[in-house]
Amino acid sequence: MTGTLSGAAAIVGIGATEFSKDSGRSELRLAAEAVTAAVADAGLTPADVDGLVSFTMDTNAEIAVARAAGLGDLKFFSRIHYGGGAACSTVQQAAMAVATGVADVVVAYRAFNERSGRRFGQVDSSVANQENSSGTDNAFSYPHGLSTPAAFVAMIAQRYMYEYGATSEDFGRIAVTARTHAANNPNAFFYGKPITLEDHQASRYIAQPLHLLDCCQESDGGVAIVVVSAERAKDLPQKPVTITAAASGSARNQFIMTSYYREQLAALPEMGLVGDQLWQQSGLSPSDMDAAILYDHFTPYTLLQLEELGFCGRGEAKDLVREPGALEVGGILPLNTHGGQLGEAYIHGMNGIAEAVRQIRGTSVNQVPDASKVIVTAGTGVPTSGLILTGDPA
């Protein structure tokens, strides 16, 4: 998305299903429920929707979702690659479609049945059978035990600890913050269930140094986001949330969670690339942000994102998170006020975009006073994406 499109589109509707561990509902039903809820929230009807954007990993065909949600003709549909890295790219694609007149009302969605259906985060031998360089790389590492997302991230986390003196407790502070916010969120799976740093440290190891509480949930649920042109948004009932910047990026020597061949191992250069684009497009800076919704599938990557996006210097995120209350409402940078994927639900980051919208609307359960500028990021360790969402101050 180039700077010339910045501010040309807005989010006017958000919708989500109940987040659970055993929904008993198909991914198609979850997607349709989320889309229907988002369209109603926008003050529109299913017949108004003429575009859909989702993830290549979503099992639902666009036409199936359209039928299930009662949508009419579709003039635009698109799918984004790279798992959670696609989250903000779906909104970017939707913004481009409405800003250029390709479609009028585009809904971005993601539905998951990953707890009672196909469980994510497990060993998946198919990735070692790909007919590309990633498959060749995985074919070597999988037999040696490097075969789950947690294990992939553990390699980076170990190096980060070695280079910068970060500790497992620093990772745990991200988890504690997420669960503190989730405890106030009735829609969060861990509503009413905060944790302490001691709880984090006592949880079992999944792949050292990652404890169980460093890892996001497996969730059933769906989330949808409605995007229209900035002009059309003025006539709809919800406060428009402007898509001020949207970017996607892949860095040199990029692999899928296993980019171990870079000169700087303890870094996420693709997120740095996305951040640079966001600041350039928006004309804003990290100090302008009222809150940050950072993709938190694993806690170490949250620290790396704080550095890549310029909220602190390289290796300094540990010092930021050690400041009491720094990441809570009223602190230096309120982080993942919905509870994140650690505390609310893991819907590939789409629920984070919805929370950024709530913050700007002023309807979050952990509301940052007068929030009008929020950065959102998508999956890390893969080609990724990001958004800066803004609104008129209250």
Tell me how far apart the alpha carbons of residues 17 and 29 are, in angstroms, rounded to a whole number.
10
Exactly one of 109, 142, 295, 301 is catalytic; name it: 295
Q: Which two tokens stand for residue 283?
A: 């004309």
Q: Is 295 one of the catalytic residues? A: yes
Q: Is 260 one of the catalytic residues? A: no
20 DSSP β-pair partners: 220
Q: Which two tokens stand for residue 273?
A: 């690339």
Burial of residue 143 (number of CB atoms within 10 Å: 0-12, 13-18, 19+): exposed
Nearest alpha-carbon partner for 247 in 282, 285, 289: 282
List phi, psi (to 5°) of 51.
-150, 145
How far CA 117 is from CA of 23, 24, 60, 61, in Å, comes to 9, 9, 14, 17
Nearest alpha-carbon partner for 102 in 129, 78, 135: 78
User: Exposure string (b/e) for 307-320, b if CB count within 10 Å is 16 or more?
Assistant: bbbebbeeeebbeb
Catalytic residue numbers read 295, 346
